[in-house]
Amino acid sequence: MMHKYCLLAIVWLVSATGAAQTQTSVLRVTDAWIRAAPPGVGVLAGYMTMENSGAVDVKVTAAESPQFGMIELHRTVIEDDVARMRKQAYFLVPAGGKLMLAPNDRHLMLMMPNVPLQHGDDVTVVLTLDNGASLEISAPLRLIR
């Protein structure tokens, strides 16, 4: 009996590791950019396209950057003809599909920059996925109103 339990544990470990690696590599981020804020505004929005070529939905549950004190997941919604930003618990990238973070929709809200940033600077963002893996991306800062 003991031998059987050991074998089960090993099989579980191998499959868990395999799943994590697969899910990390199937999420691809393209067209990432950060919209530069007017002077004095310490909150910036980040946009990108997330593609999931895997067979399992992937959730982005958090984001952080060495250049910012905090990043939240936001979505702009219209309520009573007023645009408001709502904090999201996650962004879901469907299996075999994609999710776009875009102006007036879902976005990363980058807060408390800890270094001065200029047009053309690259912002490093680390996305945390719901399988425990993470994905590091680089997004240029652009001056677009």
Distance CA(20)–CA(74), nearest Å, equals 26
Distance CA(52)–CA(27), nearest Å, equals 5
Neighbours of 94 (CB within 10 A): 11
**Binding interface with Cu ion (CB under 5 A):** 74, 85, 109
Q: Decide whether 37 or 92 has the Cβ nearer to Cu ion.
A: 37
Q: Decide whether 23 or 46 has the Cβ nearer to Cu ion.
A: 46
Let me know if 126 is exposed, middle or buried by CB neighbors in 10 A (0-12, 13-18, 19+).
middle
Task: Determine the longest span between alpha carbons in the chain, in angstroms.
Answer: 68
Name the residue among 48, 50, 46, 51 with its Cα closest to residue 64: 46
Distance CA(88)–CA(12), nearest Å, equals 32
Quote the least distance from Cβ 74 to Cu ion, whole Å. Answer: 3
Q: Decide whether 3 or 145 has the Cβ nearer to Cu ion.
A: 145
Quote the least distance from Cβ 121 to Cu ion, whole Å. Answer: 20
Quote the least distance from Cβ 142 to Cu ion, whole Å. Answer: 17
Q: Decide whether 58 or 109 has the Cβ nearer to Cu ion.
A: 109
Residue nearest to Cu ion (CB): 74
Quote the least distance from Cβ 11 to Cu ion, whole Å. Answer: 44
